[in-house]
Chain A
């Protein structure tokens, strides 16, 4: 059972918009700690996609965006492409565990 809760799977057709939620609690996201998002393509290491809730590292397309409100965060992907098919993980800091925690991951399928 992950401290941060994500839906196991989402799907969308090419060109559509999808969102992935990440629900935490008052000891992590709700405490004001930043949320990060990672993309893991099949057979590869995770890659930082969004940091500090809303920021994109250099090279990440602006089709990817992050938001945060209260005890939850979301990753939105617009103009869905086949290459976006991957697992996505949220991550934040948890004060009760005194360390970073990951969500359980969400598998995105592009139909």
Chain B
């Protein structure tokens, strides 16, 4: 069974750093891209970027380039999303999802990680 299991909810202060994770199982992790999707409170889905764990090829959506870092460790089937300096506007639910390529679907999703940034 394909599963993506994300790390737990986080509460942080503005300016702090954070790294959240997404662990894949039930499939060959290096054969698929992993995408990160943001959902701000009461809002829609926004693709942040994708990573191919086999070679760590990463593509960022223009709005998120330079704002976050996406990485992966194929030895432990885990992808990461990290911030160096959080802002209150980073408060959101973050989902990881499996993706083949191009216009293929995000076919399996993690349960989401809620990030709250507040002073």
Which of chain A's residues has its CB closest to B108's CB? A48
- Give A59-71 as 1s and 0s: 1 = Cβ < 8 Å from B's Cβ atoms: 0000000000000
Contact between B44 and A100 (Cβ–Cβ < 8 Å)? no
Smallest beta-carbon distance B9→chain A, Å: 13
The A-contacting residues of B in range 59-118, CB under 8 angstroms, are 59, 61-62, 95, 97, 99, 102-112
Please name all residues of chain A whose beta carbon is closer than 8 Å to the beta carbon of B45 when the two chains form the complex. Answer: 38, 46, 89, 91, 102, 105
Contact between B109 and A47 (Cβ–Cβ < 8 Å)? yes
Contact between A48 and B44 (Cβ–Cβ < 8 Å)? no
B34 within 8 A of A: no
Instruction: Given contacts A33-B102, A52-B105, A99-B47, list 16 more A-B pairs with CB under 8 A.
Output: A33-B103, A38-B45, A45-B95, A45-B109, A45-B110, A45-B112, A46-B95, A48-B107, A89-B44, A89-B45, A99-B49, A99-B59, A99-B61, A100-B99, A102-B37, A105-B44
Contact between B44 and A36 (Cβ–Cβ < 8 Å)? no
Interface size for chain A: under 10, 10 to 19, 20 to 34, or 35 or more residues?
Answer: 20 to 34
Chain B interface residue count, CB cutoff 8 Å, equals 25
A contact residues vs B (CB 8 Å cutoff): 2, 33-34, 36, 38, 45-48, 51-52, 57, 87, 89, 91-93, 97-105
- Bound-complex Cα distance A57 to B106 (A): 12
Contact between A51 and B105 (Cβ–Cβ < 8 Å)? yes
Smallest beta-carbon distance B94→chain A, Å: 11
Contact between B47 and A100 (Cβ–Cβ < 8 Å)? yes
- Bound-complex Cα distance A2 to B49 (A): 16
Contact between A91 and B102 (Cβ–Cβ < 8 Å)? no
Contact between A45 and B111 (Cβ–Cβ < 8 Å)? yes
5 examples of A-B residue contacts, CB within 8 angstroms: A46-B97, A57-B107, A91-B106, A99-B50, A102-B47
B53 within 8 A of A: no
